[in-house]
A and B are shown apart, each in its own frame.
Chain A
Amino acid sequence: MALINVATREIHCNIVYYGTGFCGKTTNLQYIHRHARPEARGKLLSIATESERTLFFDFLPLDLGAVHGFRVRFHLYTVPGQVLYERTRVAVLTGADGVVLVMDSGADKLEENFQSLIELETNMRKLGKDLGNFPFVMQWNKRDLPDAVPVATLDRYLNRRRVEAFDAVATTGEGVFATLRAICKSVMARL
């Protein structure tokens, strides 16, 4: 949840990158960390298992500096995609002010993506949040894959709400900042 500290003149918002395992969430944060202005980016923390898969989360604080006398910060989280960690995903979603759903464009991932969307909707409902009325954008990642599903198809099956969606290749950074800008603005607009 957003924290507005009138006394210390600070505003903090949490953004969660959600999606199936290996869809490219960590890669998004790594790219942002490498390419954001040095004054804006904090330490990238990754809590991984020994096999390097995200266990609890990746965490990247971003600092916009002073805006009209208020220090504005966005905290980016990723959640582990494995089915096993559903409860961890709920815990991280509890504090979310905005959600980016990262979708793997690979042809064999369509069903998994669909399940991840359904799970997100269910978890948000459990938390008393309505995804249809919440800062929420999508990212079609891995557009470079030779078997990438056409965007029109992804849109039809996975984006019935017609929320803002961005084509991306997280490994090269394409679409990464466009996604970030959209979710940050959406969060601020609803603050």
Chain B
Amino acid sequence: MEQLSNLVVSEGELGNIARVLGRLTLDTAASHVLLLDKSGQLIAAQGQMGQRDLIALGALLAGAFSSSRHVAEILGETDFRHILQQGLHESISTSLIGEQWLLVVVFDKQTHIGLVKVLARKAADELERVLERVRAGGGRAKEQVINVQFRNSVENTIDLLFQD
């Protein structure tokens, strides 16, 4: 049985995503721009940061966002579609894309928050179109990756690595 929730990102669509993130990085002078699944999975990123830190950042930001939505509920709001974490030097803007993804911009005090908000909104709209397309048409690309040899190798690797 196949799960319906897989997201299979092809080379071409990742290029489209990278273009949008690249432009946003440039226009906001951001140090990092991240595209996440709402569960915290990193789909794509721009900027210099080790993979391990990116993965941790993704999980934590998704957690913060989810917790803010519960706050919204308690206030009788349907949603906070955008949250801002403001530091002395660096700030983080997180916006919801559609219902399933998050766009994160890490920027410093040189950049005006208002600009980040507007440009992130525009980028989010563009990304939503790409991501909806990715979600709709992923099945074929998957077949090329997940074959019998792959499945066997994964099982062996799991047995090898996950033992006392």
- Bind each other: yes
A interface list, Cβ under 8 A from B: 1-8, 11-12, 14, 32, 35-37, 40, 42-43, 45, 47, 56-57, 59, 61-62, 64-65, 67-68, 70, 72-73, 75, 77, 87-88, 91-92, 94-97, 133-134, 173, 177, 180-181, 184-185, 188-191
CB distance from A57 to the nearest CB of B (A): 6
Which A-B residue pairs are the 4 nearest by beta carbons?
A95-B39, A1-B5, A7-B14, A7-B11
User: In angstroms, how far is the closest chain B Cβ from the Cβ of A68?
Assistant: 5
Q: For chain A, what secondary structure do more than half of its interface residues adopt (helix, strand, loop), or is it mixed?
A: mixed
Apart from A68-B149, A88-B70, 5 more pairs, CB < 8 Å: A1-B3, A3-B6, A3-B9, A4-B141, A42-B56
Of B19-27, B117-125, B151-159, the stretch lying at the interface with chain A is B151-159
Our pick among A61, A68, A77, A177 for the contact of B164 (Cβ within 8 Å) is A177
**Whose C-beta in chain B lies nearest to the C-beta of A41?**
B161
Q: How far is the CA of A185 from the CA of B162 in the complex (A)?
A: 11
B3:A97 contact, CB within 8 angstroms: yes
B15 within 8 Å of A by Cβ? yes
* Complex Cα gap A67–B11 (Å): 19
The distance from the CB of A48 to the nearest CB of chain B, in whole angstroms, is 12
A2 contacts B155, C-beta separation under 8 Å: no
Question: Do the beta carbons of A40 and B161 come within 8 Å of each other?
Answer: yes
Which A residues touch B161, using CB under 8 A? 36-37, 40, 62, 64
Q: Of B7, B13, B55, B63, which one neighbours A2 at CB under 8 angstroms?
A: B7
CB <8 Å contact, A6 and B52: no
Closest chain A residue to B65 by CB distance?
A91
B59 touches A94 (CB 8 A): no
Please indicate the chain A residues that have their CB under 8 angstroms from the CB of B56 in the complex: 42-43, 45, 59, 61
- Known contacts: A43-B52, A180-B162. The answer to whether A2 contacts B6 by CB under 8 A is yes
How many residue pairs, one in A and one in B, have C-beta atoms under 8 Å apart? 152
Taking a contact as CB atoms under 8 Å apart, the answer to whether A92 and B150 are in contact is no
Which of B4-60 touch A at CB < 8 Å?
Answer: 5-11, 13-15, 37-43, 52, 55-56, 59-60
Chain B: number of interface residues, binned into ranges: 35 or more
A67 touches B153 (CB 8 A): yes
User: CA of A189 to CA of B146 in the docked complex: distance in angstroms?
Assistant: 10
Which residues of chain A are within 8 angstroms of B164 by Cβ–Cβ distance?
A: 35, 173, 177
- B41 cross-chain contacts in A, Cβ below 8 A: 1, 3, 12, 14, 75, 95
Query: Which of B67, B145, B158 interacts with A88 by CB under 8 Å?
Result: B67
CB distance from A158 to the nearest CB of B (A): 23
Q: Are B63 and A56 neighbours in the complex by a CB distance under 8 Å?
A: yes
Could you tell me the distance in whole angstroms from the C-beta of A144 to the nearest C-beta in chain B?
Answer: 17
Is B3 touching A191 in the complex (CB atoms < 8 A)?
yes
* A65 with B1, Cβ < 8 A, contacts A3-B37, A75-B41, A88-B67 known: no
Chain B residues with CB under 8 A of A35:
164
Indicate if the CB atoms of A94 and B63 lie closer than 8 Å.
no
- CB under 8 Å from chain A, chain B span 109-164: 138, 141-142, 144-146, 149-151, 153-155, 157-159, 161-164
Instruction: Tell me the chain B residues, 92-124 only, with Cβ under 8 Å from chain A.
Output: none
Q: By the criterion CB–CB under 8 Å, are B138 and A4 in contact?
A: yes
B157 contacts A8, CB within 8 Å? no
Contact status A88-B66, CB under 8 Å? yes
Q: Assess A70 versus B145: contact at CB under 8 Å? Given A4-B7, A190-B1.
A: yes
